[in-house]
């Protein structure tokens, strides 16, 4: 219980960075604490803080994957994402370009192998380090780097982003 109370704010911050939602992060931290408390009150866990951190990370990644999968199955919320990506001062032409680019990138990500897509999502959306991605996916750090670099390059190449065709 002490580890949970002492580190709860940091655990919430960590989960929030992964999933981008503070309320959901609080739920994840609470769920991690419940998992710990169900293990004989946490008495049979040698490193309760490590257990909590690992559980929070895994639950946050699972929540992120679930959200991505649901978005993909439901067709995504492209309009909402495009509105977020475009500031209120953008011209109509710039808004069209951003929406087109976003739709293209989402399409490219959907076409990538699952492991590569997950690595990119963890890196770009979850702010994970290459070592953490490699550990989670059970691959080497160099392979994690290659998966991410190749996937981002595919997005850039297929979508023509950064090739000077913008106003």
Q: Identify whether 166 is part of a domain.
A: no
Strands (E), the chain: none
Q: Does the pLDDT of residue 71 top 70, yes or no?
A: no
Q: Say yes or no: 46 and 85 in one domain.
A: no
Domain containing residue 102: 77-159
Q: Say yes or no: 52 and 81 in one domain.
A: no
CB contact burial 42-67 (16+ within 10 A = b; e otherwise): beebeebbebbbebbbebbbebbeeb
Rounded percentage of the chain residues whose pLDDT exceeds 90: 17
Contact 65, 115 (CB under 8 A): no
pTM, two decimals, is: 0.45
pLDDT value of residue 167: 30
Q: Smallest Cα–Cα separation from 36: which of 8, 65, 62?
A: 8
When the pLDDT of each residue in the chain is averaged and rounded to a whole number, the result is 78
pLDDT digit string (tens) for 107-163? 898 999 999 999 988 888 777 888 889 998 999 999 999 998 898 888 888 887 644
Residue 149: both structure tokens together? 């670099």
Q: How confident is the model at residue 42 (pLDDT cuts 50, 70, 90)?
A: low
Q: Say yes or no: 42 and 103 in one domain.
A: no
Ramachandran region, residue 126 (left: φ > 0; alpha: ψ -120 to 50; beta: rest): alpha
Q: Does the pLDDT of residue 84 top 60, yes or no?
A: no
Max Cα distance, the chain (Å): 62
pLDDT value of residue 145: 92
Q: From the centroid of its chain, how far is CA 134? A: 15
Q: Identify whether 89 is part of a domain.
A: yes
Q: Say yes or no: 52 and 93 in one domain.
A: no
In the numeric block, the tokens 């580190």 are attached to 7
């Amino acid at each position: 219980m002490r580890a949970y109370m002492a580190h709860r704010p940091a655990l919430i911050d960590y989960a929030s960075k992964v999933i981008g939602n503070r309320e959901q992060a609080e739920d994840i931290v609470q769920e991690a604490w419940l998992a710990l408390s169900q293990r004989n009150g946490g008495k049979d866990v040698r490193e309760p803080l490590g257990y909590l951190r690992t559980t929070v990370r895994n639950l946050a990644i699972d929540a992120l994957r679930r959200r991505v999968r649901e978005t993909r199955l439901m067709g995504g919320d492209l309009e909402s994402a495009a509105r977020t990506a475009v500031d209120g001062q953008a011209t109509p032409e710039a808004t069209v370009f951003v929406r087109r680019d976003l739709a293209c990138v989402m399409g490219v990500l959907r076409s990538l192998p699952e492991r590569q897509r997950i690595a990119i999502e963890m890196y770009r959306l979850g702010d994970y380090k290459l070592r953490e991605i490699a550990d989670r996916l059970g691959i080497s750090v160099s392979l994690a780097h290659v998966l991410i670099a190749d996937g981002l390059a595919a997005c850039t190449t297929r979508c023509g982003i950064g090739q000077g065709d913008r106003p």
